[in-house]
Structure 1
Amino acid sequence: MRVIAIAKPRTVAERKIIDEMHRLRARIFQGRLSWNVRCVAGREYDEFDDLVPTYIVTLADRGTVIGCARLLPADGKTMLGAVFPHLLRDGRLPAHRHMVESSRFCVDTACEEGRAQGQLHAATLTMFAGIVEWCMANGYTEIATATDVRFERILKRAGWPMRRLGEPVLINETRSVAGILPADAASFNCLRPDGYCSAIPALRQRAA
């Protein structure tokens, strides 16, 4: 498997990958997790997809999308600020120009490729490492995100503990929490699975 980054799809192949990514999001968020999300023709979208985000996508060896996440600069409009401010201690995200928000993270853990007994799925670790690699390549040092306490434990198990920005809040029977993750070389080296393969360019040039 390999991880790629797509901001503005420019080729037929990239548009196909993004379309398949939206299908995966629908299967995971609406189908598996029963979230109240907007799906059209089997694809999940929301208003934040209109803000020209960067998508981190993991592809299986056969080319199918098995993992994805959406990245947006945290000093602009974010899900945490607009949708989940109640997850933040004072209702505000401590954003800065070197922070990015990650949202809509999902992995098809039913995929046999990369599954290891008693370990995290390789696609999950590949997604984690890909997000960190893209952040380092583009001048970001911190990642803000909203997740649930179960996934917070997965992050800790992977060696990537999250610093909470507030106490867990029950949302639709799920204990949700916001936090900050580091985007640095130590995290990348810890998360990167054996055989890690990426094609992540420096998509954005940011001044120091």
Structure 2
Amino acid sequence: MHITIVSPDLYEQYSDLLTQMHCLRAMIFRSRMGWDVAVSDGEERDRYDGLRPTYVLAVDDGDRVAGCARLLPASGPTMLECSFRKLLANESLSPHSGMVESSRFCVDTSLEVGRGEGQLHLATLTMFAGIIEWSITNGYTEIVTATDLRFERILKRAGWPMTRLGKPAPIGNTMAVAGSLPADRASFERVRPPDYHSTIAEHAVTSAMSAA
């Protein structure tokens, strides 16, 4: 399993993976979790997908998307500021240039590959490492997100505890909470699976050459 980064300039190249990602989001958020999300032709999308985010994908050896997350600079429109403001203390995020928002994180834990007895799924840890690595590579030091209390416990169990940005509150049928996560080398080393591999460094080199 490896991390593939799909930035806006790579949407067309990785269109098949993005279709899989939107289908996975529909399956997880609508079918499994019962969230009130918009699904069309089996794919879940929202208005934040129209803001040209970067997607982090965990892809297995069969080219199946096993996990995904969406990253947007916190300086622009974000889910926390626009959709989940009530989760923030004083209903304010106070974004800075080193802050990025992660949203629509999900993992297909039904996949047999990556199952470990008593351990977090390989795709979950791979996604955590990929998000941190991408953030560090792109100059971000802080990752903010809205999640539920169950996932907050998973983050702590992985060794990447979240600092709450407000009190938990009900969102739909779940108890949600906003939080901040560090994007640093120590966190990356704690969550990184032994066989972790990504295209992040390769993508950074290619982008730098293109800009030269």
Question: Match for residue 70 of structure 1?
Answer: 70
- SS of structure 1 residue aligned to 2:3: strand
In structure 2, what is the equivalent of residue 116 of structure 1? 116
Amino acid at match of 2:174: T
User: What's the counterpart of residue 177 of structure 2?
Assistant: 177
Match of 1:192 in 2: 192
- Cα-to-partner distance string for 1:11-52 (whole Å, 9 max, x where unaligned): 765011111100100010001101000011000000000000
| In structure 2, distance between residues paired with 1:134 and 1:177 | 23
- Supply the AA of the counterpart residue of 1:114: G
Q: Could you say which residue in structure 1 is the equivalent of 2:89?
A: 89
Structure 1 vs Structure 2: percent identity of aligned residues?
Answer: 55
Q: Which segments of 5 or more consecutive residues in structure 1 lack a partner in the other structure?
A: none
Q: Which ranges of structure 2 fall in alignment gaps of 5 or more residues? A: none
Q: Distance in 2 between matches of 1:57 and 1:150?
A: 22
Q: Is the 8 A contact 1:9 1:15 kept in 2?
A: no
Opposite residue 185 of structure 1, the aligned amino acid is R
TM-superposition CA deviations, 1:143-170 (whole Å, max 9, x none) = 0000011100000000000000001001
Superposed counterparts of 1:44-55, under 5 Å: 44-55=44-55
Name the TM-score, length of structure 2 as normaliser.
0.93
Shift of 1:138: 0.3
Q: Contact between 2:74 and 2:100, CA under 8 Å: does it hold in 1?
A: yes
Number of residue equivalences: 205
In 2, the alpha carbon distance for the partners of 1:34 and 1:60 equals 26
Alignment-derived partner of residue 61 in structure 1: 61
3-state DSSP of counterpart to 1:139: coil
* 3-state SS, counterpart of residue 19 of structure 1: helix
- Normalised TM-score (structure 1): 0.95
Q: What is the Cα deviation at residue 174 of structure 1?
A: 1.2
CA distance in 1, matches of 2:188, 2:24: 25
Which runs of structure 1 show a deviation greater than 4 angstroms over 4 or more consecutive aligned residues? none
Change (3 A) 1:109 1:131: same
Offset of 1:204 from its aligned partner? 7.3
Letter in 1 for 2:150: R
Compare the two structures and name the one with the higher helix fraction.
2
Root-mean-square deviation (CA), in Å?
1.4
